[in-house]
Amino acid sequence: GGLTAEDGLSDVSVEHSVTVEAPVLASLPAVTLTGPNQVSLCDSATFTAVGSASRPLTYVWTAESSGNVNVSANLTAQLASESGSAVTFPASLLSGATVVRCVATNFLGASTDVSVTVDTVAAGYPVVALELPPPPYVVSRDLYAFATVNFSSCV
């Protein structure tokens, strides 16, 4: 009794070794990154990666200069210690325009790289963050954006 496949692969009396490999074209995770483009030096900057995948994603955060700006070692170290989908750091770690980058990787090793450039501004400006759903965007569907405003703690 019982089911048996060709060559006895489902026969319980015989041991078989099966190798499962990742697909040749692994599906890339869909990820969006939200965060401020400008932040006052006495405030904090929060960046959030929102991903869509069949299993949890892993995140790697980095910062790189935008132009002639050197990224501080403290910011580099703080981002390297983060592994979640959101990071917050004091804007005082920024030394001008900085690209905050997040690489989201799925369980198959496929990665999506997203980034936001953030710069410092004079104290007291409100920070507006605009959130959009991940692409693709289709003309025949409504697109909803959400905005949040954070007032500076500098004033």
* pLDDT tens sequence across 102-150: 999 998 888 999 999 998 887 766 767 777 777 778 888 888 888 888 7
Find the range with the poorest average confidence among 21-25, 41-45, 56-60, 137-141.
21-25
Q: What is the mean pLDDT of residues 29-50?
A: 89
> Half-sphere exposure of residue 119, counting CA atoms within 13 Å on the CB side?
8
Residue 141: predicted pLDDT: 84
Quote the CA–CA distance of 97 and 130 in Å, as a whole number: 19
The most confident of the ranges 26-30, 51-55, 81-85, 148-152 is: 81-85
At 28 the pLDDT is 86
pLDDT (0 to 100) of residue 16:
67
What pLDDT does residue 3 have?
Answer: 53
Q: Which CATH superfamily is domain 30-121 in?
A: Immunoglobulins (2.60.40.10)
Q: How far is CA 5 from CA 1, 2, 14, 18, 88, in A?
A: 13, 10, 12, 14, 55
Q: What is the dihedral of CA 64, 105, 45, 94, to 10 degrees?
A: -10
The C-alpha atoms of residue 3 and residue 22 are separated, in whole angstroms, by 28
